[in-house]
Amino acid sequence: MKIAVLSGKGGTGKTFVSVNLAEVQGHGTYVDCDVEEPNGHLFFQPVWLETDYISRKLPVIDADKCNGCRICTDFCKFNALAYIANQVLVFEEVCHSCGGCFLFCPQGAISEKDKEVGKVQYGKSLTTTVYTGTMLTKEISGIAVIDALLSKIKDIENVVIDCPPGSACSVMESIKDAHYCVLVAEPTIFGSHNLAMVHELVELYKKPYGVVLNKCIDGENPSKAYCIENGIPVLMEIPYDEKLGRYQSEGRIPAREDEEFRDMFIKLQGIIDQEVDYETAISTKW
């Protein structure tokens, strides 16, 4: 099973939940798709065994073959091409690497070149396998790196995917292969607003999901209220705990070092397993 952990905003505890959930899998795999600022490896401190450099395609124009028909500039919905003074200008930062200009050029004047956009690292931390994607500074999209990460784990079981924050393209990419989504939410009004955004996303993708309420304190919890109002299963309420804060700030994995939290995450995994079984049962067609 592949579990994606996501949240509408940063700092709710996505990495905390995914690192510890991956840890209790035994021989599980942790995948950090938060390629703009991957940090799960800080906890796992893996021994890196392999690094792949990831690139995307950019068009290269052969001015001798170009006849100025402008099919490429008209095709480009991102406006990454312009035809000025009898030549095609390419705006590389605007290009989304769709390859359309290359396919449509009737003169065969467009070829493609590779541009490095980031890297994917593979390593081991005790019995847990760690994959981390890192996007290069100044790149505007991490999709190519996330795609490369997901292709690595295609046939692997017991995977926990740590998603980027928010509900935009990079999150959609990260959850596409997931069998179950865990939404992590904070007990604030802002937190519940962002929970609503990812809730909408997982509904749209028709993924089974549940919520982990993190950093719970006494008093009202707008995120919990949102779950009750919308009939969303609450998988677990994790208390605001100084001990956890301490582990976190020291870059340690509570589920690896502390029986109390190991039990907590084993329990969470058990609840997710039940939820998945239930989803499978009710969605079985007769």
Partner 1 sequence: MKLLIPANEENIEAGICVSFGRAPYFLIWDTEKGNARFIENSGASSSGGAGIKVAQDVVDQKVDVLIVPRIGKNASDVIDASNIAIFKSINENVMETIQSMLDGKLEVLTDIHPGFHNHGDK
* Residue numbers at the binding site for partner 1 (CB under 8 A): 73, 77-85, 87, 89, 91, 93-94, 138, 140
The residue among 78 and 190 lying less far from partner 1, judged by its C-beta, is 78
Residue 231 has phi, psi (to 5 degrees) of 65, 35
Judging by DSSP bridges, how do beta strands 180-185 and 47-61 pair with one another? unpaired
Sequence-ordered list of residues with C-beta below 8 angstroms from that of 37, at least 6 positions apart, any chain: none
Among 32, 16, 13, 3, which residue's Cα sits nearest to residue 271?
3
The residue among 93 and 242 lying less far from partner 1, judged by its C-beta, is 93
CB of 73 to partner 1, least distance (A): 7
Q: How far apart are CA 182 and CA 4, in angstroms?
A: 6
Q: How far apart are CA 127 and CA 113, in angstroms?
A: 39
Q: How far apart are CA 223 and CA 126, in angstroms?
A: 35
CB of 139 to partner 1, least distance (A): 10
Q: Check: CB of residue 41 under 8 Å from CB of residue 133.
A: no
CB of 126 to partner 1, least distance (A): 39
CB of 88 to partner 1, least distance (A): 10
CB of 16 to partner 1, least distance (A): 29
The residue among 79 and 127 lying less far from partner 1, judged by its C-beta, is 79
Q: Check: CB of residue 188 under 8 Å from CB of residue 216.
A: no
Q: Check: CB of residue 254 under 8 Å from CB of residue 276.
A: no
Q: How far apart are CA 203 and CA 160, in angstroms?
A: 20
Among 99, 107, 104, which residue's Cα sits nearest to residue 68?
107
- Write out the H or E segment, with its range, that includes residue 3: strand 2-6
The residue among 103 and 140 lying less far from partner 1, judged by its C-beta, is 140
CB of 150 to partner 1, least distance (A): 24
CB of 224 to partner 1, least distance (A): 36
The residue among 47 and 140 lying less far from partner 1, judged by its C-beta, is 140
The residue among 138 and 154 lying less far from partner 1, judged by its C-beta, is 138
Q: How far apart are CA 172 and CA 175, in angstroms?
A: 5
The residue among 128 and 141 lying less far from partner 1, judged by its C-beta, is 141
